[in-house]
Amino acid sequence: MSVIALAAALLTVIPAAAAPHAPLAMMGESPELAAGTLAAGRADEALATLEKASAAMPHDAGVLINLGIAYAHAGQEAKARAAFEQALACHEVVELDTAGGGTTDSRRLARKAIRMLERGEFRPAPARAGQLTYRD
C-alpha cells in the first residue's frame, strides 16, 4: 500500500456503532465531512470543523485522530502528535471504520498515525519529485 493510500485510509474515521454527532449536527458541520475537505487539500477548513468537534467532544477518539491528521497536513506536527496521543489515552476504546473500508480500534489507529507522523508520511512530497534535474 502506498503512503498516499495509507494516509487516505486514515483520513476518515467514523465510530462503527456511534450515533450522529448531535452538537455538530446542530452547527451544520460534521467531523466526517472534514475528511473530505482535508482530502481535497483544504486542511485549514478541516481544522476549523475538527477543532469545534474536539471542543464539543474532547474524548472522541475518532475526532481526535482526524484532528491529528488535519494538523499533520497543515504542517503542525507537535499539535498532530498531541491529538494522536490524546486519542491513544482515551478511556474508551472504540471500533472505527476507515476510508479504506476496514475496521480497527481507536488505539491501534492512533499508534499507526503516530508512527506515520514520525516517518514524515503526512508531509507533502517535494514539488520536484519525479522530475528530471541537471547535475553538475
- Asked if the structure places residue 131 within a domain, the reply is no
- Asked if the structure places residue 132 within a domain, the reply is no
- Asked if the structure places residue 126 within a domain, the reply is no
Single pTM value for the model: 0.72
Find the domain containing 102 and state its range.
3-118
Can you give the C-alpha Rg of the chain in angstroms?
A: 15
10-62 pLDDT tens trace: 444 544 444 334 333 333 445 565 877 877 778 888 899 999 999 999 999 99
* CA gap 61, 91 in Å, rounded: 9
- Asked if the structure places residue 123 within a domain, the reply is no
- How deeply is 39 buried, as exposed, middle or buried, from its count of CB atoms within 10 A (0-12, 13-18, 19+)? middle
- How deeply is 46 buried, as exposed, middle or buried, from its count of CB atoms within 10 A (0-12, 13-18, 19+)? buried
- Asked if the structure places residue 55 within a domain, the reply is yes
Count of domains for the chain: 1
**Closest among 1, 2, 16 to 102, alpha carbons compared:** 16
The answer to whether the beta carbons of residues 53 and 29 sit under 8 Å apart is yes
- Asked if the structure places residue 125 within a domain, the reply is no
What is the domain-level CATH number for residue 61? Answer: 1.25.40.10
- Asked if the structure places residue 13 within a domain, the reply is yes
109-131 pLDDT tens trace: 999 999 999 999 988 766 445 55
- Asked if the structure places residue 28 within a domain, the reply is yes
